[in-house]
Amino acid sequence: MEKVVLAYSGGLDTTAIIPWLKETYGYEVVCCCIDCGQGEELDGLEERAKISGASKLYIEDIVDDFAENYIMPCVQAGAIYEHKYLMGTAMARPGIAAKLVEVARKENAVAICHGATGKGNDQIRFELGIMALAPDIKVIAPWRDDRWGMDSRQAEIDYCKAHGIDLPFGTDQSYSRDRNLWHISHEGLELEDPAKAPNYDHMLVLGVTPERAPEEGEELTITFEEGVPTSLNGEKMKVADIIRKLNVIGGKHGVGIVDIVENRVVGMKSRGVYETPGGTILVEAHQQLEELVLDRDTIALKKDLGNKMAGLVYEGKWFSPAREAITAFTTSIQKYVTGEVKLRLYKGNIIKNGTTSPYSLYNESLASFTTGDMYDHHDAAGFITLWGLPSKVRAMKMNENKNENKK
């Protein structure tokens, strides 16, 4: 019997997909749950998968891989989609796709199946990743298959029960969420109407609103070595653990809550609320250190390439020459992004508290209003003359033409 590897979360959708795959394609179903830091969402998955008809369940932990090889390249590049979204979902998908391909090869599977809908970005991210890594493996997307036939939670529950799967799935409507080490996203309910304010008291998982944050602020110190965070408040730890701790601290102080209307790849606008407390702090700290150590031209180029990389990652093109080239550039300039960043968190705000680096380009003698040996104020006159020469020549020509027209 041929095998299919199913990207399995244990939720209603992917549970209903198991008997559907067996019935529709006659495949043996091997479930694969990818742990990107979902936490307690993984509890009891093996029993649930077996009850639902899967022959096997893999639970693959890629948390450190996700933190070091997907999150950090985006942080270092300053890749933020549409200037707001820190891409917690988009960054995780290529790592998931890579692990699905690995398991499919191990199981000699002929297909990989995912439960992403036909309206979202994830179908693109999963499938482009699989195409890039295993173009010979078939991809099955039930929500785009005319034989799926289920259009509601109740229909899926009824289908499961008809196939002997009676699990405690409810029909209660809640937010559609995606959680991992980096963030948690919320879509649906009142967020589907841009005119309505988010019900934060009902929604938030990782933290509180700034209004509910403590009256006392909190100070942090993050140390970076070649663009990678290596310690938090003097304690050495790996990247994933720094993000975990920053999530707790940032969430406590109402940091990193963003309400976005974004442009999906498939052409529609969608609204979501993202909680990214630790990520928001880490991105800010990294940017503050780069301000100190990178020169003007490099920062300008990096901003352009960071925007380009954000688009590529959001659109599912992680495994592309363009993304790899941008990462190569970013990696090359991280050599001097070493130092210590101090921050203060207060009611949703991240406040600078001092930055130091052995590679700092800030020269107090130059920056001071006091005249120093390295800078002669008279030099500025000649510089301004040459710098402004194109503007002056153009103005002279415009005036010359204006006078000619008056004659």
Q: Are 27 and 138 in contact (CB under 8 A)?
A: no
The residue annotated as part of the active site, out of 55, 64, 176, 360, is 176
The residue annotated as part of the active site, out of 13, 125, 178, 357, is 13
Residue 176 known to be catalytic: yes
The residue annotated as part of the active site, out of 9, 48, 93, 179, is 93
Ramachandran region, residue 135 (left: φ > 0; alpha: ψ -120 to 50; beta: rest): alpha
Q: Are 231 and 237 in contact (CB under 8 A)?
A: yes
Residue 13 known to be catalytic: yes
For the chain, the helix, strand and coil percentages under 3-state DSSP, each to the nearest 5: 45, 20, 35
CA 109-114-119 angle, to 5 degrees, is 150
**Sign of the alpha-carbon torsion through 376, 379, 384, 387:** negative
Please give the single-letter amino acid code of residue 116.
A
Token digits for 399?
A: 């005036």
The values of phi and psi at residue 139, to 5°, are -115, 130
Residue 122 known to be catalytic: yes
Residue 145 known to be catalytic: no
Residues 55, 28: Cα–Cα separation, whole Å: 7
How do strand 56-61 and strand 3-7 relate by DSSP bridges? unpaired
Residue 400 half-sphere exposure, CB side, CA atoms within 13 Å? 6
The residue annotated as part of the active site, out of 9, 48, 52, 122, is 122
Q: Which DSSP string corresponds to 24-91?
A: HH-PEEEEEEEESS-GGGGTTHHHHHHHTT-SEEEEEE-HHHHIIIIIHHHHHHT--BTTTB--HHHH
Q: Among candidates 271, 269, 254, 310, which has minimal Cα distance to 186? A: 271
Q: 197: which DSSP letter? A: P
End-to-end CA distance of the chain: 92
Active site residues: 13, 93, 122, 176
